[in-house]
Amino acid sequence: MKVDDEEIFAMKAGEELDKKIASELMDGMPDRYSEDLYSAWKVMKKLEEMGWRMDIMSSINGENVGGVLMSHGNPISFNYLVGRNVESDSLPEAICRAALLIVNNSQRIADLESKF
């Protein structure tokens, strides 16, 4: 079942987020994606395979993940599409939220790509 972006922003690390990542992005392979950095890095690699350049910004105030897809020389920022940055106290959680936002907005992204 598709969730909206606000539900994704509200998701916390744990089983629900991990199951959603497994089913939507990782071909059903279960793992602790939202709680374990090694597992979250598999999600990052999957996004890179899809053509996304993922940016991680870490500070004392938390973790921030952004992403840009280049399409015909034009950048598409998922942060712009969803209207804000993906932030969390936990980097794996932020990576997983960002990944779900990309999947959740795949039709909007495809529509933008078709305009280039």
- Domain boundaries of the chain, sorted by first residue: 5-114
Structure tokens at 71: 């399409």
Q: Which CATH superfamily is 5-114 part of?
A: Bacillus phage protein-like (3.30.2120.10)
pLDDT digits (tens, 9 = 90+) for 106-116: 999 999 999 88
pTM, two decimal places = 0.94
pLDDT digits (tens, 9 = 90+) for 81-115: 999 999 999 999 999 999 999 999 999 999 999 98
